[in-house]
Amino acid sequence: MAQCTRFNKELLMNKTELIEAVAAHTELTKADAGRAVNAIIDVITHAVAKKDDVQLIGFGTFKAAARAARTGKNPRTGEALKIAAAVVPRFTAGAAFKAAVNTKKK
């Protein structure tokens, strides 16, 4: 499995490292794994853009959610400003993913 790189004191796996990890786990070439990862990202992106939910049992659900308009504050001037309503992507982790992340190390 590809090792995560250090970035700002946090572990981070970038897309290239993800592709390498997929290639290692599936015995695909890096090119094939790259096409597979890109295809998955494209399918999820297009589905959520069409307001469809993508549910991967045990992993989580990707969906589009409405964010209401609100009043914000300019950090430089302190002046109030209006932030428009928007549709934003959301991810909700599934039970198995939460359990895997929440395991306690001994």
Number of helical (H) and strand (E) elements in the chain, helices listed first: 3, 7
Half-sphere exposure of 33 (CA within 13 A, CB side): 16
Using one digit for the tens of pLDDT, what is the confidence trace for 6-20? 444 467 899 999 999
Hey, which residues does 10 pair with through a beta bridge?
Answer: 7
Q: Any idea which residue has 């395991």 for tokens? A: 103
Query: Would you list the DSSP string of 34-70?
Result: HHHHHHHHHHHHHHHHTT--EEETTTEEEEEEEE--E
Number of CB atoms found within 10 A of residue 7's CB: 10
Q: Any idea which residue has 């993508």 for tokens? A: 54
Single pTM value for the model: 0.76
Using one digit for the tens of pLDDT, what is the confidence trace for 54-82? 999 999 999 999 999 999 999 999 999 99
